[in-house]
Structure formats: structure tokens, C-alpha cells
Amino acid sequence: MESESIQDLFAALKHVGKSGSSKADDSLPKTSSSAGDDFDQDNIKFDEDAKVAEQQDTFKQIEQHLRGLPRMQTGFDGLANGKETTNAIQRVEDPVSILHLRKKDAETKKPSSSELWFTLPKPELTREIKRDLLILKHRAALDPKRHYKKDKWQVPERFSVGTIVEDKSEFFSSRLKNKDRKSTMLGTLIGDDDTNKYFKRKYSEVQSKKTSGAKGHYKKVRAKRNKF
């Protein structure tokens, strides 16, 4: 139907062009039979005026029909107007992947306020945390005045690391100074002088016990030989 309407419009254009060219040889305009009466009434009408009006009407009709036809979006109109037209890219989403993501979001529910309050988090095991956990495992060897039950201690799945804040009543008894406070338990133990003295004494006792006997006696003999 669109092709037939376009062909009709072109045929009308050709007809108007032929009629205009056949009558274009007359150099002087031709007046109608009632030109004298119109001249007396100060109203002169030419035959060409009616033909020009008919041509303009046909051109207007053709233009209206052409505007009613579907247009193709090209960049030529923007170039003529001096404006660059940006064609928006349409993003087509896969419905299968969208359903999969919705199902995954439904499965992973957000924790409620009670779970966030009463449940301990699962922290990342860094090098510093692993060292502190190893110290907790061997806490029986840290202080001679404290004794713990021997059991197979394992690293818990959920735990939290914090800082103990002393009470005001313990200002002179068990309060640490700011220069003695460290970020990890290992740093706090190494910075304590009494703990270092205890570690050195225990290390010397272990070494003397391990080296007594064959190796210790042989080392003493070699030391005496080197004197001479």
C-alpha cells in the first residue's frame, strides 16, 4: 500500500510538471473574457493565477502525504542542521540470567538485627591474628602463677578481637600505661620486662636439661682440649 501511494504522488508531480511546461512558452499573460469588466472594477484576474494556485494546492497535498509516510532515522538531518545526533544504544538483558540473579538474591537473605547482635563475626585470619591465637593455645607457659586445664584447644570458627578497658578502681593496680599498650598480644608480651626475664630463665632451664648427658659431656671435653 505504501509503494502504491508513493507512485501516485510521483505521477501527480509529473502531471503538474508537464502542464506547467506546455503553457510556459507564452511570454505574455493571457487575460480571461471578463477582463474588461474586472479592469473597470480594479480587479484583474489572469488564467495563470488559477493554474499556479492549482499547482500550489497539489504540491501541498503531495507534501502532506509525504510527511505522513514513515521516516527512516538517519544522520543526514543532523548534519544539515549542524547538530550531531547520538543514536542511543539499547541494552537487551537476558531474562534467564535475570531470573537466576533474583533466585540467588532470594537464597542469600540479609541477616536480621538479632543475628547481627548476638552472633560473632568470622574474621579474616591474618598473620597477626594467627600469632595471637598461637599464644592463647600455649597460654599455660606464659605466667608461672597461672595454671590452665590441659585440653586440645582449637581455633574457634567465630570470634572477635577487642581491647580490655580497665576500671577506674584499677588505676594503680592493673592499669597499663599508654607506652606499654600494643596493637597485638605478642607485642604486649615482648614489651614487658618481667615476662622477658621469665622467658629467658625458662629457656636456659630447658637448654641445660636438653644438653645434659652425652652431648653436654662431649662439648665440655672439647672445650677443655681447646684450652691447651
Write the secondary structure of 44-73 as one string of H (helix), E (strand) and C (coil): CCEHHHHHHHHHHHHHHHHHHHHHHCCCCC
Between CA 146 and CA 140 the distance in angstroms is 7
What is the band of 194 on the pLDDT scale with cuts at 50, 70, 90?
A: confident
Q: What angle do CA 72, 77, 81 make, to 5 degrees?
A: 165
Residue 55 lies in a domain: yes
Three-class SS state of 20: helix
The tally of domains found in the chain comes to 3
Residue 93 lies in a domain: no
Residue 101 lies in a domain: no
What is the band of 206 on the pLDDT scale with cuts at 50, 70, 90?
A: confident
- Mean pLDDT value across the chain: 73
Q: What's the DSSP call for residue 161? A: -
Between CA 150 and CA 205 the distance in angstroms is 22
Last residue of a domain, one of 69, 96, 114: 69
Where in the sequence is the domain holding 206, given as residue range(s)? 192-228
User: Does residue 175 sit in the same domain as residue 197?
Assistant: no
CA distances from 207 to 107, 114, 193, 210, 212 (A): 58, 53, 21, 5, 8
User: Does residue 215 sit in the same domain as residue 159?
Assistant: no
Cβ pair 57, 92 in contact under 8 A: no
User: Does residue 156 sit in the same domain as residue 196?
Assistant: no
Cβ pair 68, 12 in contact under 8 A: no
pLDDT tens column, 128-172: 888 888 888 888 888 888 888 877 888 888 888 888 777 888 777
User: Does residue 153 sit in the same domain as residue 199?
Assistant: no
Last residue of a domain, one of 50, 69, 88: 69
pLDDT at 146: 85
**Residue 3 predicted with pLDDT over 70:** no
Residue 142 lies in a domain: yes
Between CA 122 and CA 157 the distance in angstroms is 7
Residue 63 lies in a domain: yes
Residue 117 lies in a domain: no
Residue 216 lies in a domain: yes
Residue 87 lies in a domain: no
Between CA 32 and CA 34 the distance in angstroms is 5
Between CA 156 and CA 21 the distance in angstroms is 102
- Which residue from 163, 162, 159 is spatially nearest to 122, judged by alpha carbons? 159
